Amino acid sequence: MTAIVIAITTAFFMSTSLSRAVAELLGVLQAVASGDLTQEAALKREDEVGQMASALNSTLSKLRELIRRVMDGSGAVEGVSRDLYAAAQESSASIEEVASTMNELASVTDVVSRDSQEVAAVAQQVSDETVRGRSALENSIAKSEELHTAINQLADVVADLGERSGQIEQIISVISGIAEQTNLLALNAAIEAARAGEQGRGFAVVAEEVRELAEQSGKAAFDIAQLIREIQADTNSAIDSMRVGADKVKENSQAIQESGQVLDSVLRSVEQMIVQIQSIVDGIQKIGSNSQQVAAITEEQSASTQELASITSELHDLAQRLDDLVGQFKIA
């Protein structure tokens, strides 16, 4: 009977102790359910309930550490996402500005390219006109040389005419001498006819006519000689004028040749300018093309940056929500 009482008493005390332990564990679990992770089961038991309390305390400790790390991580993620979002917004604005600048640069390069092409076209026209001018100068040089040759030939002809006039003057001098001799012979014949008297009268008439003819011949020879001397003077003057004209034509030809050299220099300069302008046009077109490519790339990058900003915004919201969730737990 005593053993039964002892057994009942022992069972009662054990039941009471177990109920208290379970109640304490239940209180801890209820605190955990309300978000309070600071509670621990203060049970010093070696039985299964004690093992449960120890396991619960260990789990709560690890859970507190996990939530602490989650809170730290969510705060860091929130800060990083905030900074990343701000950087993405700033980068997007900068990229859009770069894209706008590249588009403006492409437009400017198009205008400059068109203007440069117009300048190149004008320079090509100048080159063509210079080539035509050079051809005209060469033709003028050829004509000047022909004129110079013709003037020299004409001067030679006139000089030859002067020489022939001199020869004619010599012949006239001979004729004049013959006329003088004839005049003397006619005078002598008249004297002899006068001496002969009536018989020499007819001969005297002939002698007088011969004398008059000789005088006329002498006068004509004198007039011709005077005319020839005037012709020679005019011929010499003409020759001098022709020589001067030939020299002027030669000087003009040399001046034209110098002008041709200047035109050649201008033509070379224009051709070099055309090459340089074309090189500039090519470079500008490449710049315009690259600017358009850069603008397209920056627009794509801007879109990617906007997408990144959207993602970081969502990440920030998730971090905020996570922080709100873990904020519901009390760990200290």
At residue 84, the pLDDT reads 66
Same domain, 102 and 120: yes
> Does one domain contain both 235 and 159?
yes
Rounded to the nearest 10 degrees, what angle do helices 48-196 and 201-326 cross at? 170
Looking at the structure, tell me whether residues 61 and 79 fall in a common domain: no
Calculate mean pLDDT across residues 9-20. 52
Domain CATH code at residue 80: 1.10.287.950
Same domain, 109 and 56: no
**Any domain includes 37:** yes
pLDDT band at 145 (very low <50, low <70, confident <90, very high): confident
Mean pLDDT of 143-152: 75
Predicted local confidence at residue 268, as pLDDT: 81
- Asked whether residue 18 is assigned to any structural domain, the reply reads yes
Q: How far apart are CA 44 and CA 56, in angstroms?
A: 13
Residues 149 and 169 placed together within one structural domain of the fold: yes
Contact (CB, 8 A) for 305 and 85: no
Assess whether 83 and 59 both reside in one domain. Answer: no
Position 14 scores a pLDDT of 45
Output the pLDDT for position 231.
78
More confident residue, 8 or 315: 315
Do residue 214 and residue 116 come from a single domain?
A: yes
- Pair 270, 146 in one domain: yes
Domain boundary among 31, 54, 70: 70
Largest distance between two CA atoms of the chain: 242
Task: Tell me if 20 is assigned to some domain.
Answer: yes
pLDDT band of residue 150 (cuts 50, 70, 90) is confident
Tell me: do 130 and 181 sit in the same domain: yes
Reply yes or no on whether the pLDDT at 142 is more than 50: yes
Identify the domain containing residue 220 by its residue range: 71-326
Residue 330 three-state SS: strand
| pLDDT tens-digit readout, 284-305 | 777 767 766 766 776 776 676 6
Distance set, CA 295 to CA 108, 281, 288 (Å): 14, 20, 10
Q: Are residues 178 and 134 in the same domain?
A: yes
In a domain, 331, yes or no: no
Say whether both 55 and 196 belong to one domain.
no
Residues 67-74, mean pLDDT to the nearest whole number: 70
Among 39, 55, 70, give the residue marking a domain's end.
70
pLDDT tens digit string along 230-260?
877 777 887 787 778 777 877 877 777 777 7
On whether the CB atoms of residues 144 and 253 are closer than 8 A, the answer is yes
Domain count within the chain: 2
Can you list the alpha helix ranges (DSSP code H) found in the chain? Answer: 2-33, 48-196, 201-326
CA 168, CA 158: separation in Å to the nearest integer?
15
Mean pLDDT across the stretch 318-328? 67
Taking CA atoms, 208 is separated from 13, 211, 219, 288, 297, in Å, by 210, 5, 16, 115, 129
Please report whether residue 306 resides in a domain: yes
Span 23-61, pLDDT tens digits: 777 777 777 777 776 777 666 766 676 677 777 777 777
On whether residue 332 sits in a domain, the answer given is no
Residues 123 and 98 in one domain: yes
330 strand-pairing partners: 36
Q: Average model confidence (pLDDT) for the chain?
A: 71
Indicate the Cα dihedral angle 21, 27, 33, 35, nearest 10°.
Answer: -120
